[in-house]
Amino acid sequence: MFTVLAEQFPDLIPFVTWLYNNPSELAFGESTIMSEEGAQQGDPLGPLLFCLGIPPVLSELRRPFPAVASYFYIDNGILICEDEGILSI
């Protein structure tokens, strides 16, 4: 995510680093959970950061499985393949 952010929106790096540099404390009943990775639910920057980070992951997945197509809208995705493509996997 930070690699793509640095390539496409380098001016945002200081701001995003400031936001994500320290873990956040999340209340869970009587317990506290440290949120140390990824965006939190409801974070307005979460969808943008996810959308920046997912294309390189999908590109890596396509290398061994070129017959598989992927279609995403933010974090909702689907993988599609013809019957013949599945047999070759």
| C-alpha torsion angle, residues 22, 27, 28, 33 (rounded to 10) | 20
Report residue 84's pLDDT band, with 50, 70 and 90 as the boundaries: low
Residue 86 in this model has a pLDDT that exceeds 70: no
Residues 67 and 85: beta-carbon distance below 8 Å:
yes
**Considering only CA atoms, which of 41, 38, 39, 36 is closest in space to residue 25?**
36
Listed by start position, the domains of the chain span 2-88
Residue 49 in this model has a pLDDT that exceeds 90: no
How large is the average pLDDT for residues 61-74? 84
Q: In one letter, which amino acid is 19?
A: L
Residues 49 and 8: beta-carbon distance below 8 Å:
no
Residue 89 in this model has a pLDDT that exceeds 70: no
Q: Look up the pTM and report it.
A: 0.66
Max Cα–Cα distance, the chain, nearest Å? 52
How large is the average pLDDT for residues 11-31? 88
